[in-house]
Structure 1
Amino acid sequence: MIHPSFLLRIFQWLIGTVLLTTLAACSTVDHGKAPTLERDAQWVVLPFANHTETPLAGNRAEAIAQALLQAQNIGTVKRYPGHAQSEALFEGAETKRQEEALAWAREQNVRYALTGAVDEWRYKVGVDGEPAAGVTLQIVDVSTGETLWSGTGGKSGWSREALSSVAQKLIRELLRAGLTTVR
């Protein structure tokens, strides 16, 4: 006869395994190999493109990324002071804005730029309304315009979780992957 405490332990293990599998399925992240970056370099957060229907999602992601970048103690972090993100309907305006921001960063003698795009920023429709965020980040060498690293991911949360919290976790995970070799 199997002892009831043994069955309870097996049941707990199964529940734990199912929960971990469920949690792991809520996030997808892909990124390149982290570049070797200078520790005390100047950084700038450039405008993020907003590919969503949520107004100013790019600005929200920029603010989170800047705060998380500063928390890494990697050097001085600025934010591009240009006008607030426009919700451009045409890709040409987005590209022009990005080029202007990169030119400004060169004038400021900034070494690295963090830029990106927001592909999802919403609460999913349904009974629970789970928060979902999708973000792409790039680390750019300002002097050459070369993309040194890029990563992308999507994350969803539980119905009682804030969208900003889900986005913060996703951006933190991406930044950790891109900043692992700061010297």
Structure 2
Amino acid sequence: MINVQRYVFVSILALLFFAAGCSSPRHFAAESLELDYVKRIVVLPFENNTETKFAGQRFRDIVTTEILSAGLFDVVERGESQRFLREEVVSKEQEIIDQATALRLGQELNVEAYLAGAVNDFSERQNGSYNYPVVAATLRLVDVKTGQIIWQAGDSESGYRTFDRLFGFAAPDINQVGYRLARRLLSTIKGR
């Protein structure tokens, strides 16, 4: 009888841990616009708000891979977007894309929207002898013609797993956690 009670207790506990880890990211989608018109996008460099060198570039590559593997949008090759940004943004000594630049971006690269983002955490944490990664980011999709944010999502993902810690298993690496976060954020895009 004690084994059955223990099994039920452990099953309920496992279900609670699973449910706690499955929360939906905070997100916004403009109700006035359907995203079906967006076929091709450019992924701009992400802001790196961390102390981890190249975190923005690494997460940008992860997000681009997830967009392509999910078939959400066609994506402009990074070299083309970097060329445009060098010519248009850096030459004017501005850090952000204003509306006029966004319009030229849309025309020159034949895109309906651009994806911008910020990486807010890309680090390794420690709990006793257990090391695990944490990734936090915000992504936003902006219409190049209107400058309106048509979708935005943000959240964090941790590689911490109680089961792994208790039984001495290694945590997933930071890239695996980044891919999980990117998938969760992009899953909130409706109409795709």
How does the TM-score come out when normalised to structure 1? 0.77
Would the alpha carbon gap of residues 155 and 38 (structure 1) be closer, same or farther in structure 2, given more than 3 Å must change? same
**Number of paired residues?**
166
Amino acid at match of 2:191: T
Q: Is the 8 A contact 1:66 1:79 kept in 2?
A: no
List alignment gaps of at least 5 residues for structure 2: 84-92, 161-169
Q: Please tell me whether residue 117 in structure 1 is matched to residue 110 in structure 2.
A: no
Find the counterpart in structure 2 of residue 99 from structure 1. Answer: 97
| 1:6 alignment partner, SS class | helix
Q: Please tell me whether residue 30 in structure 1 is matched to residue 31 in structure 2.
A: no
Q: Is the 8 A contact 2:38 2:73 kept in 1?
A: yes
What does 1:36-47 correspond to in 2, within 5 Å? 36-38=34-36, 41-47=39-45
Q: Please tell me whether residue 169 in structure 1 is matched to residue 165 in structure 2.
A: no
| 1:161 alignment partner, SS class | coil
1:40 Cα deviation from its structure 2 partner: 6.8
Find the counterpart in structure 1 of residue 74 from structure 2. Answer: 76
Identical residues among aligned pairs (%): 25
Root-mean-square deviation (CA), in Å? 2.6
What does 1:49-60 correspond to in 2, within 5 Å? 49-60=47-58
Q: Is the 8 A contact 1:46 1:98 kept in 2?
A: no
| 2:130 alignment partner, SS class | coil
Query: Hey, which of these two has a bigger chunk of helix by percent?
Result: 2
| 1:38 alignment partner, SS class | helix
Q: Is the 8 A contact 2:50 2:119 kept in 1?
A: yes
Residues 79-113 of structure 1: per-residue CA shift (max 9 Å, x gap):
44327xxxxxxxxxxx9343188443442121121
Alignment equivalent of 2:138, drawn from 126, 136, 145: 136
List alignment gaps of at least 5 residues for structure 1: 84-94
